[in-house]
Chains A and B, each alone.
Chain A
Amino acid sequence: MATAAPARRNRMDTVNGLLSRLGRSVGGVVGALYQAGRDTIDMVIRNVLPFIAFISFIIGVILETGIGNWIANRLSGLADSLPGLLAISIVCAIPVISPLLGPGAVIAQIVGTLLGVQIGRGEVPPQYALPALFAINPQVGCDFIPVGLALGEAEPETVEIGVPAVLFSRLITGPLAVVIAYFASLGLYS
């Protein structure tokens, strides 16, 4: 009995240690999940909902006033063929235009939503959704190059060369992406 007491206390300590470690790691997981939920709700309220409000208003105006039909005819005339999509992507990738179209991806989001309406109405065949996603977006990040490079701790000389290098590269890779997406969309929704 006298020799068993310290052994039992030892075992008790191990169990206690195990329990507290378990408690701490469960607490860590729950804390991470809770914080993730908080971040998510923050993000939805600050970024997603305001954009939905804005785009709902735009769509309301466009659909009710008849501007929608006008844009729809232009867009669906372009978006239902490979040459048309290439034309959209080349215009968006022109080095002077692309930085202007970039901020917040607002243009890409509005054009994307309008195209979505056209696809929903059956004016644009659904298999063009994939190439269209690339056609409306060759300007992604073109407004942000100096900041993005600065975040990567680039020297000012690198920024000076990097900005035109990325812009010119888009003129090649923008239309190329549409072609790749066009072939990757074979067999999609058909």
Chain B
Amino acid sequence: MGGTLLTVLAGEAPAPSDPGGFNGTLARWAENFIGVFQRGAETFTGLVVGIIPLLIVLLTAVNALIRLIGVERIDKVGELAARPGLQYLPVRYLLLPVLAVFFLTNPMAYTMGRFLPENKKPAFYDSAVSFVHPPLGIFPHVNPGEYFVYGGIAAGITTLGLGLGDLAVRYFYVGLIVIFIRGIVTEVITNIMLRRQAPASDEEPSEVTA
């Protein structure tokens, strides 16, 4: 309707059946231009309808649970994790990061490092920060602002009509293995660098700064 009205008003426009010439080109451009946003809008609707409702309910439940349990209880685990000895490695780089990330969530989880001796803080940070994405499939409350690290790939699986449970659980488990390895590797590297810096610190203190 609007189109015919416009062509009538324009007067010299060609037949509306097959627009050519200057106006036809403009019309095609306009269609392509708005098509970008229409495709974006479809994606937006898909994501909002598909992800947000579940995310909201799940986040509410877990947030409430955390409030009822009380976050100060994991301080005891922090003190336990500071002890030396091989048997405390899983506490330090598995139990503590998992509890810290689950209860304190993304930025505040790293405050648990305050219980540890200085040479183990980088390793704990590495371990904890590596666990802010693997639980996203099961516990998105740990880092909802970065949900699409997991959610983007998961959307593809959903498109294929496959279930997400298996992927989410495996992501979680592999995350556990990876943060444990990261903690140990980073602790070893930190100790090597500390030892190397100790004699060199008299001459070139800024040698290791990256």
Interface pair A119/B40, CB less than 8 Å apart: no
Residues of chain A with a CB closer than 8 A to B171's CB = 130, 133
- 152-176 of chain A: CB within 8 A of chain B: 152-155, 157-158, 160-170, 172-173, 176
Closest beta carbon of chain A to B190's beta carbon, Å: 4
Which partner residue on chain A sits nearest B38 by CB separation?
Answer: A60
Q: Is A63 an interface residue (CB 8 A)?
A: yes
Within 8 Å CB of B155, what residues of A? Answer: 113, 116-117, 120
User: Inside 8 A of A137's CB, which chain B residues have their CB?
Assistant: 133, 149
Say yes or no: is B7 at the interface (Cβ < 8 Å to chain A): no
Whether B125 lies near A162 (C-beta < 8 A) is yes
Q: How far is the CA of A129 from the CA of B150 in the complex (A)?
A: 9
Residues of B within 8 A of A56 (CB): 40-41, 43-44, 47
Contact between B39 and A63, CB atoms less than 8 A apart: yes
Q: Would you call B148 and A113 a contact (CB within 8 A)?
A: yes
| B156, A169: Cβ atoms closer than 8 Å | no
Task: Decide if B162 is an interface residue (CB 8 Å cutoff).
Answer: yes
Stretch from B20-28, B58-66, B84-92 at the A interface: B58-66
The answer to the question of B204 belonging to the interface, with a C-beta cut-off of 8 Å to chain A, is no
CA gap between A111 and B162 in the complex, in Å = 21
Residue from B113, B118, B119, B189 in contact with A151 in the complex, judged by beta carbons closer than 8 Å: B113
Fill in one digit per residue for B45-73: 1 if any A CB lies within 8 Å of its CB, else 0. Answer: 00110011001100111111011100000
The verdict on A36 contacting B67 (CB below 8 Å), with A120-B155, A120-B159, A165-B122 known, is: yes
Contact: B144 with A48, CB < 8 Å? Answer: yes
Report, nearest first, the 9 A-B pairs whose CB atoms are least far apart.
A152-B113, A60-B40, A119-B156, A141-B129, A120-B159, A162-B122, A113-B152, A112-B152, A116-B156
8 chain-A/chain-B pairs, Cβ below 8 angstroms = A35-B67, A44-B59, A61-B40, A64-B39, A119-B157, A120-B159, A130-B170, A162-B190
Q: Known contacts A40-B60, A114-B152; can you find 13 more A-B pairs with CB under 8 A?
A: A43-B59, A56-B41, A108-B149, A116-B153, A116-B154, A119-B156, A134-B178, A141-B132, A149-B110, A168-B189, A177-B181, A188-B167, A189-B157
